[in-house]
Amino acid sequence: MLFVLMACKREPVSYLGPAYIAAPEGFAVTSFTGTPSPVNFQTTTVAFNATFTHTVTYSLTIVGQTSGAKLVRSGVANGITNELWKGEMDGPFFFRDGENAIATLSFFGTSLTSSVTINITKVQNYTTCGTYPRFGDFETPSKVEPQPIPPYYSAYWASFNYPTPIPNVTQGVDSVAVDYNGKPVPSVQGKKYYFIKGLGDQPVFVSGLQYFGSLIPYLNADPNRVWFNIYIYGTGDANASVDIEMQEDDIDGTTGGYQGDDDDAMVAHVTLNHKGWKLFSFRYNTLVPSSNLPFGGSGNHIHEPNRIRSWDIVLLKKSNPNSPVEVYFDYPLFTLDRPFKPCK
Ligand SMILES: [Ca+2]
Ligand SMILES: [Ca+2]
């Protein structure tokens, strides 16, 4: 086998630019494996190995058959040796527990492909990548949505439309929502996400959701090091926007906890004019103090991420008070020193 590969290397190949080598006539994949399958990414890693008859530009594309999650790696070689996959993905969509992922080798200059199937029993636990608001994957609706008996609110999440409903607003956990354009909203992580939609009863404000569980351990005190990340689905409607408000218990505050008229709410303004799911990441020092004096605009204006005690995501109508708006979001996570990227 070694002799054959070496002999083949001497064959003429088509160079189409410095990084592209097309497969010559007679090109073949002589082996391709991805092991182990099934795989539990919380305890192990998949290794891909393959041999080709010739050195060629190849791509290894892994696609989750339920999630649509995708990872692509490319190279120029006559095979791949212990190419490790820890379950990470390129785009916003996460791989899912229980799904099959098909890994396909494709090559420059030929339609030939070769595939193997990896069954994922468990995806990685990405909550270990940072400080994770409890139940922030929204996979357990009873831990997020108000309950029909006291204490009304869930343990960590409070809907602004409960217990007093806001007219013309619906919000909660979903997995099969359809947006105002008639398009199904796919799940980006796991099977569920949170949504807020409607016209509300005010010109700008529609509704919101608050996380008020303790962020334990408290976040790092350096606003240059702390990032907030969240996946948000947009429909391209520039009328739709959200304010993400981090509520601090300022160091000079007069009363314990966050007081809207005495402490900072540090805000990220996000216009939802993108389409589909997108990961947004904000460095904490880029957030701006709220301009709303009784609601976070009267603090010390010092970024104190270690003093965040709660945060809100608030849906707003940015330009047209008569047009209803919508937002879908999932997997908020605070990270240190870098934006969230599926980690090891
Ligand atoms: Ca989720
Ligand atoms: Ca402050």
CB atoms within 10 A of CB 317: 21
- Nearest ligand, measured from the Cα of 92: 1
Contact yes or no for 265/289 (Cβ under 8 A): yes
Which of 24-38, 134-148, 251-265: highest mean pLDDT? 24-38
pLDDT band at 9 (very low <50, low <70, confident <90, very high): very low
With a cut of 50, say whether residue 15 has pLDDT above it: yes
- The CA-to-CA distance between both ends of the chain, in Å, stands at 35
Domains of the chain: 2-122 (2.60.40), 129-336 (2.60.120.430)
- Per-residue pLDDT tens digits for 160-212: 999 899 999 999 999 999 999 999 999 999 999 999 999 999 999 999 999 99
Ligand nearest to the Cα of 188, by number = 1
Q: What is the whole-number distance in angstroms between the Cα of residue 137 and the centre of ligand 1?
A: 4
Q: Is residue 22 predicted with pLDDT exceeding 90?
A: yes
Judge contact between 72 and 88, C-beta under 8 A. Answer: no
- Quickly state the pLDDT bin for 318 (edges 50, 70, 90): very high
Distance CA 29, CA 344 (A): 30
The per-residue pLDDT for range 89-138, each reduced to its tens digit, is: 999 999 999 999 999 999 999 999 999 999 999 999 999 999 999 999 99
Distance from residue 324's CA to the centre of ligand 1 (Å): 24
Tokens 């796919």 found at: 186
Region of poorest pLDDT, from 24-28, 45-49, 199-203, 338-342: 338-342
Nearest ligand, CA of residue 250? 2
Residue pair 96/66 in contact (Cβ under 8 Å)? The answer is yes
Instruction: Classify residue 24 by burial, with Cβ atoms within 10 Å: 0-12, 13-18, 19+.
Output: middle
Distance from C-alpha of 250 to C-alpha of 256, rounded to nearest angstrom:
9
79: number of Cβ within 10 Å:
19
| pLDDT band at residue 45 under the 50/70/90 scheme | very high
Mapped onto helix, strand or coil, the DSSP state of residue 7 is helix
Q: Which of 190, 132, 138 is nearest to 159 (CA)?
A: 138
Q: Which ligand is nearest to the CA of 328?
A: 1
Among the listed residues 30, 13, 31, the one whose alpha carbon sits nearest the alpha carbon of residue 22: 13
Q: 68: CA distance to ligand 1 center in Å? A: 14
Average pLDDT over residues 313-335: 98
Question: Could you tell me what percent of the chain has a pLDDT over 90?
Answer: 83
Across 127-152, b (16+ Cβ under 10 Å) vs e yields: eebbbbbbbbbbbeeebbbbeeeeee
What is the layout of strands, in order, in the sheet containing 169-174?
Answer: 169-174, 193-198, 325-336, 226-235, 275-283
Report pLDDT digits (tens) over 144-160.
998 777 766 788 999 99
> How many angstroms does the Cα of residue 247 sit away from the middle of ligand 2?
8
In the reported structure, the alpha carbon of residue 220 is separated from the centroid of ligand 2 by a whole-number distance in angstroms of: 14
Pairing outcome for strands 110-122 and 39-40: parallel
The whole-number average pLDDT for the span 230-246 is 98
Question: How far is 103 from 116, CA to CA, in rounded Å?
Answer: 5
Ligand in closest contact with the CA of 264:
2
- Residue 217: name the closest of 330, 300, 305 by CA: 305
pLDDT at 254: 76
Whole-number Å distance, alpha carbon 195 to ligand 1 midpoint, is 11
Neighbours of ion ligand 2 (CB under 5 A): 248, 250, 264, 299-300, 302, 304
Q: Which ligand is nearest to the CA of 329?
A: 1
Tens digit of pLDDT for each residue in 260-278?
A: 899 999 999 999 999 999 9
Question: What DSSP designation does 137 have?
Answer: T
- Identify the nearest ligand to the CA of 193 by its number: 1
* pLDDT over threshold 70, residue 10: no
* Cβ-based neighbours of 22, under 8 Å, separated by 6 or more: 13, 14, 16, 56, 57, 107, 108, 109, 110
Q: pLDDT category, 2, cuts 50, 70, 90? A: very low
* Ligand number nearest to the C-alpha of 304: 2
